[in-house]
Amino acid sequence: MIKTSSFEKDLKERLKSPTFKKAYDDERRIITLATEIAESREHAGMSQRELAAKSGISQQQVSRVESGANCNLLTFVRLTSALGLKVRLSA
């Protein structure tokens, strides 16, 4: 039998709140995008410094984005373009 941690119980309870759930889901999307950018950079064999130079932003900005910090749309577009990624929106 798998024991549920107090964190998981607390999270399950908090997710009942629509406001908390929306914020939680937004953060999960940001982390997913950050992870995809980092993995794409690594797959391309690029360092953060190389990606920064190619995208025209600082290495610190690349690091912040890869760690899940919120970034502006222009930074996101520059990073994805430098990695050869296409951003697709769908409903």
Domains of the chain: 6-82 (1.10.260.40)
- pLDDT, residue 77, reads 93
- With 0-12 / 13-18 / 19 or more C-beta atoms within 10 angstroms meaning exposed / middle / buried, residue 62 is buried
pLDDT in tens, 60-77: 999 999 999 988 999 999
pLDDT in tens, 5-57: 898 899 999 999 999 999 999 999 999 999 999 999 999 999 999 999 999 99
* 56-84-82 Cα angle (round to 5): 5
The model carries a pTM of: 0.80
16 phi and psi, to 5 degrees?
-70, -20
